[in-house]
């Protein structure tokens, strides 16, 4: 925020010459783009102290201002647009920032903006302490310590002409010119400040389909207000109307505000509109019989680039509190979004394949990946394995292990393989299948592994020839590709499987853009019976492509882990 006495002088002078300023509208809401409204409400309730509305699931009452969450395509955060950020005021902003920093980002989606010296807060003399965070959807939020106005504190605009921008909101929406602690000049809409800074690069970007899509005001009746807007030369993006799916008969209109800001004006009683989240469900629609296309040599054609990002968030085993055979669309989207929020710590949403709203993306309503046993839980372990696990767990709680060398680290850290089963992660969820007569090549994007699976009879290999992914032999059973793998070296077990496991994978194209993937692990040394899991892949050649996974080239993790281990060893030696 910046000092701008010129803005105040301009507004005061304009008030003397401009007749008939607008009757004040009430500042009503800020619209945030979120794939899961339920997750948005929960986040603002937990971290900003807002209250979920009792009569709807897509909005929270943030100290008298509604924060409304609507799923729609998005192209980025609020920074760089005409609404740079929103602000909340707390009595003790130092404690609040410490609370958020202690929460961390894993599992919550909280991200703190740090100053050049690494701090998260700065004290502006004569104003207040302030700092910035980001919500999971890219909304920049300023935290301030202003005891005079607690709660939802301000909307901070970016403008090519700050004076003209504030004049527009004053003349059109009826804001009251005021000065925040004599340092920052803006407008007041009841208890909410509208502040503005000059955009450093000329003209800010539009808010449309960004994290903050628009800001909203409320009037009693749109007809006289719309007439007044037209008198002032305001451009309508949409005329007053009840929105599709509107929960009440109250109307709304969209105006083109200055600096690319979309402004919504709603009538008293407006309660938003219902949104069908079912459109986000791609992989669990009921699919009838499907005849897969054929290759020139007559085999089912699975070739293409597939992604299993829609399966992100499916728990491997069925949670104890889930009884339904399928989640609702709202539950599935919230679960998928929760999986994403748990990973916003190293890469933001725009870097993640699983982000809803970017390209052709959907979610699964499966309650769990395990489909057999029917309860969705893994079978009991053998007595020998159970005893071995108990006997081998001798470290004290919280005691860390120290790597003696690269061999002590996982195959993930060593950039060797991501293991037997290509379960979805936060990114790099691509799979490319290429076929030739008698062979199928399956390439995983993560660690760029390619398996060459023969589908014609091949001689068996001896038990002494073992590898990370074992030996694979394929066959066709109708339209299903069955791949059986054995001879594992024990370094890439899945869910604890051993080198003695037999893995049987079944690929079946059940729709034009849907590939069902089932896998069964039979390992009598670990489990008392075989078990099967399933998820699906989506064909997305128009949007998705495999990118290079240069794991070894940038593997600083290996160096840092080993150097840290040696430092720990040295410290322990010194301690003795």
Q: Tokens representing 120?
A: 């998260």
DSSP per position, 264-303: EEEETT---B---GGGGB-SSS--------B-TTSSB---
Helices 37-48 and 329-341 sit at what angle, rounded to 10 degrees?
50
Give yes or no for a contact between 524 and 382, defined as CB atoms under 8 angstroms apart. yes
For the chain (576 residues), the mean pLDDT of every run of 10, in chain order, is: 34 37 79 90 95 94 96 85 97 95 70 91 94 92 95 96 96 95 93 95 92 96 95 96 95 96 96 80 60 94 91 90 85 81 62 62 87 95 62 40 84 89 86 96 90 88 84 95 95 92 96 93 96 92 79 86 91 79
Interatomic CA distance for residues 154 and 256, integer angstroms:
20
Q: What is the sign of the dihedral through the CA atoms of 551, 553, 555 and 559?
A: positive
Nearest 5 degrees, angle CA 311-CA 317-CA 320?
Answer: 120
Among 39, 95, 48, residue whose Cα is nearest residue 69? 39
Q: What is the sign of the dihedral through the CA atoms of 111, 116, 119 and 121?
A: negative
Position 576 scores a pLDDT of 61
Long-range contacts of 436-441 (CB under 8 A, 24+ apart): 437/297, 440/302, 440/474, 440/481
Long-range contacts of 273-276 (CB under 8 A, 24+ apart): 273/243, 273/244, 273/245, 273/246, 273/247, 274/245, 274/247, 275/37, 275/58, 275/70, 275/71, 275/245, 276/245, 276/329
Beta bridge partners of 256: 262
Give yes or no for a contact between 479 and 508, defined as CB atoms under 8 angstroms apart. yes
Beta bridge partners of 168: none
Torsion angle of the four alpha carbons 160, 164, 168, 171, in this order, in degrees rounded to the nearest 10: 170
Runs of H (alpha helix) within 73-208: 93-103, 162-173
Beta bridge partners of 205: 81
Position 82 scores a pLDDT of 96
Q: Tokens representing 522?
A: 């039979």
Q: DSSP letter at 81? A: B
Position 350 scores a pLDDT of 61
Q: Please give the backbone phi and psi of residue 258, each rounded to the nearest 5 degrees, phi first.
A: -70, 155
Q: Please give the backbone phi and psi of residue 223, each rounded to the nearest 5 degrees, phi first.
A: -65, -55
Q: 10 Å Cβ neighbour count for 360?
A: 15
Structural domains in the chain, CATH included, are 5-267 (3.10.180.10), 304-386+403-549 (no CATH)
Q: DSSP letter at 560? A: H
Position 356 scores a pLDDT of 64
Residues 6+ apart with CB under 8 A from 183: 3, 124, 126, 127
Q: DSSP letter at 260? A: G
Residues 6+ apart with CB under 8 A from 154: 86, 87, 142, 186, 192, 193, 194, 195
Position 76 scores a pLDDT of 84
Of how many residues is the chain composed? 576
* pLDDT tens for each residue of 96-133: 999 998 876 555 678 889 999 999 999 999 999 999 99
Provide the edge-to-edge strand list for the sheet that holds 252-256.
51-52, 59-62, 65-70, 26-33, 212-219, 262-267, 252-256, 236-241
Among 162, 142, 145, residue whose Cα is nearest residue 78? 142
* Exposure class string for 326-358: b at 16+ Cβ within 10 A, else e: ebebbbbbbbbbbbbbebbbeeebeebbbbbbb
Q: Pairing between strand 236-241 and 450-454?
A: unpaired
Give yes or no for a contact between 488 and 499, defined as CB atoms under 8 angstroms apart. yes
């Amino acid at each position: 925020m910046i000092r701008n006495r010129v803005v105040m002088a301009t507004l005061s002078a304009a008030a003397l010459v401009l007749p008939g300023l607008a009757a004040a509208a009430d500042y009503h809401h800020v619209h945030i783009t979120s794939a899961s409204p339920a997750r948005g409400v929960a986040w603002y309730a937990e971290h900003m102290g807002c209250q979920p509305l009792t009569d709807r699931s897509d909005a929270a009452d943030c100290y008298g201002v509604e924060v409304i969450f609507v799923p729609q395509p998005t192209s980025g955060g609020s920074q760089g647009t005409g609404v740079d950020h929103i602000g909340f005021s707390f009595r003790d902003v130092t404690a609040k920032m410490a609370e958020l920093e202690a929460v961390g980002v894993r599992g919550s989606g909280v991200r703190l903006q740090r100053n050049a010296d690494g701090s998260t807060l700065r004290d502006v003399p004569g104003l207040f302490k302030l700092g910035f965070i980001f919500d999971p959807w890219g909304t920049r939020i300023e935290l301030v310590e202003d005891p005079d106005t607690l709660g939802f504190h301000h909307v901070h605009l970016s403008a090519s002409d700050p004076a003209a921008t504030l004049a527009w909101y004053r003349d059109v929406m009826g804001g009251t010119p005021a000065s925040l602690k004599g340092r920052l000049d803006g407008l007041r809409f009841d208890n909410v400040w509208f502040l503005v800074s000059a955009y450093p690069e000329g003209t800010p970007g539009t808010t449309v389909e960004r994290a903050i899509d628009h800001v909203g005001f409320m009037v009693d009746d749109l007809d006289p207000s719309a007439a007044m807007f037209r008198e002032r030369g305001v451009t309508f993006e949409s005329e007053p109307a009840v929105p599709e799916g509107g929960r009440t008969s109250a109307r709304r209109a969209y105006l083109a505000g200055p600096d690319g800001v979309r402004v919504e004006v709603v009538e008293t009683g407006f309660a938003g509109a219902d949104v069908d989240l079912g459109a986000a469900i791609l992989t669990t629609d009921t699919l009838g019989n499907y005849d897969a296309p054929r290759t020139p040599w007559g085999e089912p054609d699975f070739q293409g680039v597939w992604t299993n990002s829609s399966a992100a968030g499916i728990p491997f085993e069925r949670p104890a509190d889930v009884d339904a055979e399928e989640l609702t669309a709202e539950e599935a989207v919230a679960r998928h979004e929760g999986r994403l929020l748990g990973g916003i710590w190293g890469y933001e949403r725009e870097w993640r394949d699983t982000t809803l709203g970017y390209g052709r993306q959907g979610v699964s309503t499966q309650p769990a990946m395990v489909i057999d046993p029917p309860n969705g839980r893994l079978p009991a372990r053998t007595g020998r394995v159970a005893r071995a696990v108990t006997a081998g767990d001798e470290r004290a709680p919280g005691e860390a292990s120290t790597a003696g060398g690269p061999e002590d680290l996982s195959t993930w850290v060593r950039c060797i393989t991501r293991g037997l089963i290509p379960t979805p992660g936060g990114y790099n969820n691509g799979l490319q299948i290429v076929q030739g007569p008698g062979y199928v090549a399956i390439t995983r994007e993560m660690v760029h592994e390619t398996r060459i699976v023969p589908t014609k009879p091949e001689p068996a290999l001896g038990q002494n020839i073992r590898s990370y992914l074992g030996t694979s032999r394929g066959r066709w059973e109708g339209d299903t590709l069955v791949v059986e793998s054995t001879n594992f070296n024990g370094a890439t077990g899945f869910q604890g499987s051993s080198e003695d496991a037999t893995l049987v994978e079944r690929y079946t194209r059940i729709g034009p853009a849907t590939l069902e993937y089932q896998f069964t692990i039979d390992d009598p040394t670990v489990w008392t019976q075989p078990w099967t899991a399933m998820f699906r892949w989506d064909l997305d050649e128009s949007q998705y492509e495999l990118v290079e996974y240069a794991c070894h080239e940038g593997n600083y993790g290996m160096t840092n882990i080993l150097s840290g281990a040696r430092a720990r060893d040295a410290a322990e030696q010194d301690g003795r």
